[in-house]
Amino acid sequence: MLCEDRQYREALNVLRSALRRHPDDPDLPLHLARTYHESGNARAAVALYRRLIARRPDDPLPYEKLERLYRDAGKHGDAVALYERIPCGSPLKEKSHSRLHYLLVEKMRDFKRGARNLAEAIKKFGPNYRRCKDLGRIYGKLGKWRDAAECYRKALDLKKDDADLIGLLGWTYLEAGEHGRAEECFTRIKGTFQGAISLAELSLKQHRADKAGEQLKSLAQRYPDNSRVAIAAAELALIRGDAHGARERCCAALPRIPPYFAFEQAHAHEVLAGAGKKLGDTTAARHHAALACALKKGPDTYTALITLAEKSITARRLDLAEAALARVLELYPGNARALLGRGGVALARKKPRQAAHWGEEALRGSATKYPDEQLKAHTLLAQAYRVMNDASRSRRHRTLAGRLAKG
């Protein structure tokens, strides 16, 4: 470590000396800022990138580097402000809306600001396929189905035969209660899997069990191991009064759903909620309903479930937190944030030994590039060992947490 520190000091001295001799060199400040960052001096790197932006406001590279620094530090608000300050006449303004979309929607889950950002981009730079589709998705997250449908229609004007868009428009109509228009969309793409399964799911929503059964039988023959078909078949069993069969089919299908299919994950939990209610298992029904709701509203499966778990811990809804954390760890084994959640639940249940176990597991699985996770792990362990009257270990973890908090 001392050798590495000495190498960074030498590199910084060389770069600063070179910059004094060649103050107009465009690459040297970037090399110097990167070296500050790599040496652990993020504050100096940020200051230098800011000076570069002030000096070269139309150069995209300092913005990209500074955004990455802010994101690594969890300062997404600062990254948003960085792009919002770009003046209207700048050649970077159009691209800034794309970066703002990523930060506001993907990172901060601020769908209202994300919608305003995309609406502004469309107003200033015109509609394009990606902007219209992304804005439609955000309106869907906000439950603004008519606005979402309008966006998808605009996107289809630009890409008329896009089956994915037609399917999205159909589901938007379905959520808005316009079953006839939804069926028209799904029928347009009935030759695709998306169209065929959507027609079957529409029949299920309309409780047309016989028609749904025929459609699903055909789909099962063509796609025998498809999880979405299996979940639809589970819903059909539920409609026909076979709650046990619905639950068994759904539980068998859940492990086959790819983690990134949040819509399908949500549908499975909706069916399980319905089955639990029919079987008198009200706790399971309530938990599955909460998981389904979170998955529908979240930007992605992981964020939806981990956010639900952490909010549930804060609200002392510990059973729901455990259900959400179990699902996260099924989908993302060894996830440090979920393990920390389990430690938090154990501590709240006054089980410090379990809390310490999960804290140690989280610490082993936490990457050094996520210092906030390591800080939370040391804080959890300090608390757990204090409750266990292990003053030495508690003090050690409290000290390590303090160092990480200072950065």
The whole-angstrom separation of Cα 270 and Cα 402 is 43
From 43-47, 147-151, 155-159, 242-246, the region with the lowest mean pLDDT: 43-47
Q: So what's the pLDDT on residue 1?
A: 40
For 52, the token pair is: 């570069």
Overall average pLDDT of the 378-393 stretch: 95
Q: Which residues contact 19 (CB under 8 A, 6 or more apart)?
A: 25, 28, 29, 32
For residue 321, give the nearest of 331, 310, 332, 329 by alpha carbon. 310
pLDDT, mean of residues 120-126: 96
Mean pLDDT of the chain: 92
| Strand ranges inside 291-359, DSSP E | none
51: closest CA among 31, 33, 38, 77? 33
3-state secondary structure of 85: coil
> 324 or 369: which carries more pLDDT confidence?
324
In angstroms, the CA 74 to CA 373 distance is 11
The tens digit of pLDDT for each residue in 333-347 reads 999 999 999 999 999
Whether 295 contacts 265, CB under 8 Å: yes
Task: Kindly indicate the confidence band of residue 29, based on its pLDDT and cuts at 50, 70 and 90.
Answer: confident
> Residues 165-179: what's their mean pLDDT?
96
Return the structure tokens found at 276. 């639990």
Amino acid, res. 75: K
pLDDT of 186 strictly over 70: yes
Q: Which amino acid is at 366?
A: S
Q: What percent of the chain has pLDDT over 70?
A: 95
Both tokens of 181, joined, read: 């228009």
pLDDT at 370: 73
pLDDT at site 197: 98
- What proportion of the chain, given as a percentage, has pLDDT over 90? 79
Res 25: pLDDT? 67
- Give the pLDDT score at 99: 97
> Phi, psi (5° rounding) for residue 16?
-65, -40
All domains of the chain in start order, with CATH: 1-72 (1.25.40.10)
Residue 2 has pLDDT above 50, yes or no: no
Give the pLDDT of residue 3: 44
DSSP string, 254-281: GGGS-TT-HHHHHHHHHHHHHHHHHTT-
pLDDT at position 8, please? 64
Mean pLDDT of 371-376: 87
Average pLDDT over residues 333-362: 96
Q: Read off the DSSP letter of residue 39.
A: T
Residue range 204-253, pLDDT digits in tens: 999 999 999 999 999 999 999 999 999 999 999 999 999 999 999 999 99
pLDDT of residue 134 exceeding 90: yes
pTM of the model: 0.82
